[in-house]
Amino acid sequence: MQKFPKVFTIMSAILALAFGLASCKENVDDDPTVTPQKTAGSISYATTSVEKTTADGTFTNELTKTGDGTVTYASSKETVATVNATTGEVTIAGAGTTTITATVADSDTYTYETKTASYTLTVTAADTTPQKTAGSISYAVTSVEKTTADGAFTNVLTTTGDGTVTYASSKTDVAEVTQTGLVTIKGAGETTITATVADSDTYTYETKSASYTLTVTAADITPQKTAGSISYAVTSVEKTTADGAFTNVLTTTGDGTVTYTSSKTDIAEVNTQTGLVTIKGAGTTTITATVADSESYTYATKTASYTLTVTQATTPTTYIGTKAPTEAKAVGDIVFSDGSATPYSEDLTLTEEDLTLTEEQKSKAVAVIFYAGSASDTLGAKTLGVGLKNSVTDSTFLAWAKNGVNGYSTNITAIQCTPSESGIGRTAKATFKGDTDGSDNWQALCDAVSDEETSGNYPAWEWVNAYATTANLTDDYASGWYLPTVAELSMLYRAKDTVNASIEAAGGTEIADADYWSSSQAASNNSSAWTVYFDPDYLNTSSKDNGILVCAVRAF
């Protein structure tokens, strides 16, 4: 009885083990391995038909895809278009039709029931004809009025584009037009000026012409004259019979010709062209300047005058020279500061013994007379003297005008004097026409050029203008010196032997055997002026910028 429970216990244990193993096997059979489920992806083109031309660039048709499947691309006809296998970018190769296909592969997480999408690409040949831009042509002003006196003009033409424009006038007897549109008036009447434009490679013109009407009327050919004026600032002048020749300043505007008269020629005579007054005796006279209308100026008041009162001068008991100041002077006379003079030779012989001056006389000597003429002579009724110094004194050779200034090339007709002949041996016998009086030539030059350039640019003239200072002259002889005309310089040449002998006796500087400037501009060449070569005799012109000698003269 005692063994049964032990056996029972063992059996129970065995049964329990067996039951447990069976139970364990049942649990294992109930837990199989799990297979993952993939998500459904999609692929499609929204645009399934694309049209291009052979001129179009690369493009990409948008592909719509869900999921991460890898996509590749292919073209059915690479002669029409090629496609980047990775990006889907299409490059056109030629005309035709091809199918571009995108193919997607399943991934670990996505599966695609439809694995392709495609679109049809149709490529046509591009039109290679360039497209032209629309151009335009027009006149803003379509009616123009002119007179026959008007100058050439251009009416503004507005164009867009590069078409070539040509111009024409419907009546060339009224106006002609150049191919730049410049119109020249030919006569009175009406004409149509037309501008015509041609299509170019890049521009086309729907309207190919524009025009305007030009009406030309006959001009009033009566010139409108400017108002001129004439006046004397000083209307009363007092002199003595011992006073020398003088000029009262006349102020004029315009280019009217002025002439001068004296109401009493026994009191004073006046140069009809220059206004230079020479006293003849005591008394009162009226000096009148009369101006004539010119083509461009008219004068409401045509005269200006002043009263000249001449009193008898107190006659000094002695003079520096042997001739009283009131006595007529002759060629070769040495003029002194008191107006008296001494002839070079009483018997007109030319020997060095004929004349000896004291040192006091030499210090008071002013000039030597080289011309004393009557109304019928070359320079008219006047007396001219040359200064005792000339630019050879300090070896100064001076330009008439510096190259480049206005006076170098300006045509100044007021100072032109022309000899009848020129060249070697002509100074002694030439006659002259034009301006023979140089007393106002500096003013004529200044009138022709700007005031700003007269200083420092005309050395020969400026030497003469400063002559009184150079020669230490005062009182009556401190002014009036000027550069002689070629006619006056020729008169000096003709008297050179007598004049040089007197200059030497007076202790001055003789006129050299060299070239001297005149104030006369050459009529044939604006940049040249007349000169006289004193030995040998040579009457010629020279460029104004050449360095040449200068002498100063004045009226006595």
The answer to whether residue 13 sits within a structural domain is no
Domain boundary among 167, 196, 217: 217
Phi, psi of 442, deg, nearest 5: -65, -40
- Asked if residue 24 is part of any domain, the answer here is no
Confidence grade of residue 35 (pLDDT, cut at 50, 70, 90): low
485-512 pLDDT tens trace: 999 999 999 999 999 999 999 999 999 9
- pLDDT tens for residues 174-199? 999 999 999 999 999 999 999 999 99
The whole-model pTM stands at: 0.47
Which letter does DSSP use for residue 328 in this model? P
Domain match, 120 and 137 both: no
What own/partner pairs with CB < 8 Å and gap ≥ 24 does 155-161 have?
Answer: 155/181, 155/183, 155/193, 155/212, 157/181, 157/195, 157/210, 159/135, 159/197, 160/135, 160/136, 160/203, 161/133, 161/135, 161/136, 161/197, 161/200, 161/202, 161/203, 161/205
Q: Are residues 299 and 344 in the same domain?
A: no
Rounded average pLDDT over 358-382: 93
User: Tokens 């459904």 label which residue?
Assistant: 40
Number of domains in the chain: 4
Question: Do residue 538 and residue 454 come from a single domain?
Answer: yes
pLDDT of residue 338: 92
Q: What is the pLDDT of residues 319-351, one digit of tens each?
A: 898 899 989 999 999 999 999 999 876 444 444
Please give the Cα distance from 541 to 426 (Å, whole number): 13
Give me the chain's average pLDDT, please.
90
Write the single-letter amino acid at 525.
N
Answer with the residue of higher pLDDT: 9 or 52.
52
| pLDDT value for 350 | 44
Shared-domain flag, residues 143 and 85: no
Kindly state whether residues 358 and 450 are assigned to the same domain.
yes
Domain that holds residue 73: 41-124
Q: Torsion over CA of 125, 130, 133 and 138, rounded to 10 degrees?
A: -140
**Do 525 and 473 share a structural domain?**
yes
Phi, psi of 13 (to 5 degrees): -65, -40
* Residues 354, 244 within the same domain: no
Instruction: Report the Cα–Cα distance between both ends of the chain, in Å, rounded.
Output: 198
Residue 209 shares a structural domain with residue 235: no
CATH of the domain at 193: 2.60.40.1080
pLDDT tens digits, one per residue of 208-219: 999 999 999 998
Residue 322 covered by a domain? no
Tell me what pLDDT residue 475 has. 86
337 and 458 within one domain: yes
**The predicted structure's pLDDT at residue 407:** 93
Single-letter residue type at 2: Q
Range scoring the smallest mean pLDDT among 14-28, 56-70, 268-282, 535-549: 14-28
Are 286 and 205 in a shared domain?
Answer: no
139 pLDDT more than 70: yes
Q: How confident is the model at residue 355 (pLDDT cuts 50, 70, 90)?
A: low
Average pLDDT over residues 130-154: 94
pLDDT for the residue numbered 506: 93
Q: Which amino acid is at 265?
A: T
User: Is the pLDDT confidence value at 270 over 60?
Assistant: yes
Is 11 a member of any domain?
Answer: no
My answer on whether 102 and 146 are in the same domain is no
pLDDT value of position 451: 67
Kindly state whether residue 199 falls inside one of the protein's structural domains.
yes
Q: Do 55 and 166 lie in a common domain?
A: no
Q: Is residue 1 part of a domain?
A: no
